[in-house]
Amino acid sequence: MAQKKQIFRLWLKNLAPGSQYYWGEGTMFEVGTVLVSYFNPICSKTAGFSGADFSWEPRANLIQDHELLIYFLPSSKSSIVAGQTNQPLGQAGATFPTSNGVISEVYLNVNEGDAQFGRLVANVAFHELMHNKLDAYITGGVLRDIHTQGGGGLAVGTPLSNALRPNPTNIQLMANALAKSHPQYKVDLSRASPYP
């Protein structure tokens, strides 16, 4: 009997206030939609997933250990990662493994002014989620560093551009690790979003 396929859920947590030109419901929907368009080809290369979906309302009890959670912050000054390590933060985002799960976060302010802001934010998010699945492990990561072993595409270091897309190597690496149990950092989910 064939295994029933499930939806791979991307959990997005907004901790950034809305802004007149950049961050609001439309951009948030675009970010989620672009991420799903990146994860659907990944899901198609796995036996267990029929496709991807996203939610901006993560709840700790709903997030499965193989799923991904990412925080969207106004800037690195609001970093959750910085409270867990003294390591330097990335320019546009950061990912860090803790004993309470992996933290991935995106800093919105550094991308403002880009003509395709929503696409660029989604690209940064995908890059951080590659770190999350592939090299952000306390022990036993899939890769040592996506920047050198991720095959280019959206695995390259910053600055990322809105023109980049996941390449076949990015897609295959993520597909190979998609079902891997890798708990996410859910401690800050109770924080209210400053923008609905």
pLDDT tens sequence across 38-70 = 999 999 999 899 999 999 999 999 999 999 999
Q: Are 34 and 118 in contact (CB under 8 A)?
A: yes
Taking all residues of the chain, what is their mean pLDDT, rounded to a whole number? 91
Ramachandran quadrant class, 194 (left: phi over 0; alpha: psi -120 to 50; beta: rest): alpha
pLDDT for 19 equals: 82
What is this structure's pTM?
A: 0.94
Please report the domains of the chain, with CATH numbers, ordered by start residue: 6-188 (3.40.390)
